[in-house]
Amino acid sequence: MAKPPILEEERKRPEDFLDQAASSKAGPQAGTLKIYIGSAAGVGKTYKMLQEAHQLRAQGHDVVLGFIETHGRTETIAQVGDLEQVPHREIPYRGVVLHEMDLDGILTRKPEIVIVDELAHTNAPGSRHPKRYQDVDDIIAHGIDVITALNIQHLESLSYTVKQLAGVDIRETVPDSFLTKADQIVAVDITVEELRQRLREGKIYSPDRVETALKNFFKQSNLASLRELALREVARGQGRQREELEQIKREGGRRAAVAERLMVCVSSNPNGTGEIMRRATRIAGRLNAELYAVHVETPAESVRKISTRDFRALLDNINLAADLGAEVVWLKGTDVLKCLLDFANEKKITQIIVGRTRYKLWNRLLRSSLTNQLINRASHFDVVVVSEDEKP
């Protein structure tokens, strides 16, 4: 469904976007966060969380189930057992009653630990937050530890990769910035053939869905690639934590300065900018680098002058940058290239990431694209040029 047009009086100022991006970053957390990551449905994430809940309760901890999605699986239902569950919130919606996690009920109950399934879930209209991961943020902020789970395809920066691998549009995602908050990330892993066998035995989907799933998303090649992505993401998260601890130890309890700083250019281009942002996030994650998402507003491209379509695309790109954990910077000037290079010098940027500009033949002959100009003038920086539609 197309989004309604944005009226002139409804347009926000650039400063409003930056305030929104800043407010989306979580503050100090009293509770801890543990995330189970799997390559696909059926690997056993929910089962593992329930096992851990029983173990923690046996050790004397106050544990409740905030939301568990059993999908009708016999083994999972049995594993719930006598664990305390916070009753779901019932929300009438278009003639049906939707069952959602009761955030207020959890905060009122205030357990020591809460188990929350389906982290990428979109909440029903009328909920306090649009997404469940935002509910988890709220729970942690109130001093409650959370154990949660998601499949690797729901990680925002990998949504394009998964679409290329499996041909599936991932509509529900969790920002990469959320994963960086995790105190512990654990892979739940089984072999590809074991997962396909579980599917054949009806332990994941109902029998009428098995053959279709085996021929599509659950193909061996897809599952092997998703499994590799999941294991790589967990290893990256563990590596970040290990490096951070080692740095703190070397610095006598102080955090060491970040060595790498990346800058990615954000525009109102609705095509390709999202993928460039995601690839920049992956590069920054591998380097444990700071990432700045920089937009330059010129007088000719003022938010008061650009089209509604471009304005909406710019807002989407800025929100995506904030969700992916980048620091959003909005600059104003008449010379885009000078603004970018001045900012890069000021922040001691080490790499600049840009998209490959598509432009007409006469511009190509004159080498007048911003990307080419940046390469020619950014002599003190590494410039990484990313194709908009380059497959992973």
Residues 15 and 161 in one domain: no
Where is the domain boundary, 250, 274, 298? 250
pLDDT of residue 52: 95
Residues 108 and 197 in one domain: yes
Domain that holds residue 351: 8-23+258-386
pLDDT of residue 363: 42
**273 within 8 A of 316, measured Cβ to Cβ:** no
Residues 195 and 134 in one domain: yes
Residues 52 and 192 in one domain: yes
Which amino acid makes up residue 346?
Answer: E
Any domain includes 313: yes
CATH code assigned at 181: 3.40.50.300
Where is the domain boundary, 250, 272, 294? 250
pLDDT of residue 251: 57
Residues 131 and 14 in one domain: no
Where is the domain boundary, 214, 234, 250? 250
Residues 66 and 169 in one domain: yes
Residues 184 and 269 in one domain: no
DSSP, residue by residue, 53-81: HHHHHHTT--EEEEE---TT-HHHHHHHT
Any domain includes 2: no
Residues 95 and 239 in one domain: yes
pLDDT of residue 262: 92
CATH code assigned at 12: 3.40.50.620
Distance in angstroms (rounded) separating the CA atoms of residues 139 and 60: 21
Any domain includes 392: no
Residues 231 and 335 in one domain: no
Any domain includes 350: yes
Distance in angstroms (rounded) separating the CA atoms of residues 35 and 179: 8
What is the Cα 202 distance to its own chain's centre?
31
pLDDT of residue 5: 38
Any domain includes 55: yes
**138 within 8 A of 30, measured Cβ to Cβ:** no
Residues 227 and 272 in one domain: no
pLDDT of residue 9: 36
pLDDT of residue 7: 38
Any domain includes 343: yes
> How many structural domains does the chain have?
2
pLDDT means per 10 residues in the chain (392 residues)? 39 47 50 91 92 95 95 90 95 90 96 96 93 96 95 86 80 88 85 90 88 88 83 65 55 58 82 82 85 86 73 78 81 88 89 70 48 78 72 40
DSSP, residue by residue, 281-350: HHHHHHHT-EEEEEEEE-GGG-TTTS-HHHHHHHHHHHHHHHHTTPEEEEEE-S-HHHHHHHHHHHTT-S
Residues 270 and 308 in one domain: yes
Distance in angstroms (rounded) separating the CA atoms of residues 68 and 46: 7
Return the number of other C-beta atoms located less than 10 Å from residue 97's C-beta: 9
Any domain includes 391: no
Residues 55 and 194 in one domain: yes
pLDDT of residue 236: 65
Prediction pTM value: 0.63
Any domain includes 338: yes
Nearest C-alpha neighbor of 45 from the set 148, 181, 162, 184 = 148
Coil, helix or strand for 99? strand
